[in-house]
Structure 1
């Protein structure tokens, strides 16, 4: 059986190098050891747009598009889409296992607690032009949250980080729904925390004169499946952008605003 390594011969110097292969990749920094002489900076890889560069290791998601395989924490996506809702899957992605009934109740309550926006955020959103693009409104409003929660900059504190995660999971649907209704010239609809996560989103998007909005269970489930499928999608443009901004220890709201801006582009 062959070695799990790559042998390289530098024809400039005649020297040979053996580079370890791990998970089908080599570390780019190992190329720096390949030099013509001691004054040489070392070999570098050139990969515009990261077309063939793995930027991180993931224990969260496994995807093989050719084989039609997508797994979150080892669970087939088909199983999660059939048996679980988005809040359960969010817990799975964050903590590595599906929640127990007690853990789910606590987790769901913690999310629900944060669905409402500060009224000043609503006022900010109302100031946009009547036909403002919802994505532009969304990006600006998410970024503005950093001014309402200045403690979010303490990204090295695990409890502070988790608090912002709960806030973002809760508030992003509210901001998205308000942005949509603003563009449609409709009054904003406040969250209804008696509904499920996706049911509440449908409520904020589409409620009209109903005293109590009752979401269509088929649409409610379809939206859960859609959210689950998009909960993690490897290193696309928005994920890479959020990781780059986050690497500078910016607050999560600014990082998410940048990630959303990456999604705003046509590609």
Structure 2
């Protein structure tokens, strides 16, 4: 059995008179430029766009790590770590929370029938549960969740989550892919920390189910709960990997985003993040 010693930061809200969760502060973050070498190491593996073939550019990306026990953050670029981007499929985390809390999704076992429309991704062309829809990042399922949630409730709950810039304008069923909402790597970590500690303005049950759906990797050394994202409609396209690493005595939160000029580069989201986690001795 894994036991976790967590150093939570609580403040008293003058409005509600009850404990609320404190976000990370700017002073808690340190810049570690040596990580740039890992991005450079994989530069040759990046498939360039036609423009980049004419004008080669350095791969742009950031990894942000937060040590929960020490309440300390590290990143290779504080500027980019604070820059907002479309969340793309990392938005499936708050979308799931809202759908569960409103009863649109009953539980992790409910089956959502395939609409019969064949799409390019094979795993989308079948019935789904919340677990599989999260695992395979099934956009049509989450678009239906959003339509059932509705504009007013979506906007209200995203604001209550303090999620990024909280701007849900755009098409209700695609604003996280091509709308005005933006979130930074550090804001992703602030949101994930609240989720881990059950401090989101949603039921503890909803948060527990979403964390179950985020399960990505389990072994004898650590557990990873995470979600990928690919903002293909952005220019340049942006890849995400956000989540946390559970250890026996600590939790490390991470958020990475990088320019992704081609689909072939998508595995670099996890590869680069894990290389940095190994460099910092978070995982073996």
Larger Rg: 1
- TM-score using structure 2 length: 0.27
Structure with the larger RCO, 1 or 2 (CA within 8 Å, 6+ apart): 2
Bigger fraction of residues in helix: 1
